[in-house]
Structure 1
Amino acid sequence: MADNFGALVRHERGYGYRGCTVFQAWGGESIITGDFESQNGRGGHSAFESRYFLPDETGLPAHRGTVGMRRGQRRQDRSGFVGSQFRLVLNEMRSFTAIFGFIVQGIELVDRIAASGNALGRPALRSIIRNCGEYHLNQ
């Protein structure tokens, strides 16, 4: 999952997260983005040859500040595939298992965007990923 996310952050294949809008916002819970095709949760795909793949079961807990892939494409056995959409978590989510990273800085902005969501999860604030890339922590 992290390799896929990194490739989309870096636009390695000519597409990725730059220009994506936040299409779901749940106050105090999470925001969802990463649909670079439709900007509404119905598009986006992985950076790999296979457009969708089964996520790693990392066992990492979904708590405030974590990042995980959003399951979308469903198979008959109900195991959700992932592509490009991801969730920034603001509160513990017990059933969310596709965690692979964490927010280093700026969680207050995520709180603000999430708080703009209505009862259906539609954000009132138009939020766009203008630029993205890798962030290297000082070792």
Structure 2
Amino acid sequence: MKKILAGLIGAAVIASPSLAVNKENTGCGLGYMLFKDAPDSTVFEILAVTTNGISGNQTFGITTGTLECKQPEKVVKNDRLFKFVTENMDQLAADIASGSGETLETVSELMNIPAEKRDLFYSKLQENFDKIYSSEKVQSADVIDKIVEIAQEV
């Protein structure tokens, strides 16, 4: 296995232009930091993503603003919220788009949104979906910032 991996890495180095690993594909974290100066190739991007997945460091990076991760500007001192949103970006997007769902309920609980204001909170999030998920490459820190901003209106 080591010989196969070494061969793949060697082939990627020879065949790849001297561009850096694409952060938009790999995200921030230890994997990106280790391979950011490696040639831009699928092999190195997979190694970066695998390193992030195995070490589970992106949540730490986002929470602390380290490992080239962006910490939300409107820092909510709630590590559980950071971790939850980071790990559930796709499902949260689907729930915000529909205006209901388990991930919205969990975000509401983590943000201490009073039960009587949750329906309004969900509808405000739904109305502002395009602002929250402004692109396919939006980072969880940006999503959290927008959600916090909208929650202040409720």
Q: TM-score, normalised by structure 2?
A: 0.23
Q: TM-score, normalised by structure 1?
A: 0.24
> Higher helix share goes to which structure?
2
Q: Which has the higher contact order (CA 8 A, sep 6+)?
A: 1
> Higher strand share goes to which structure?
1
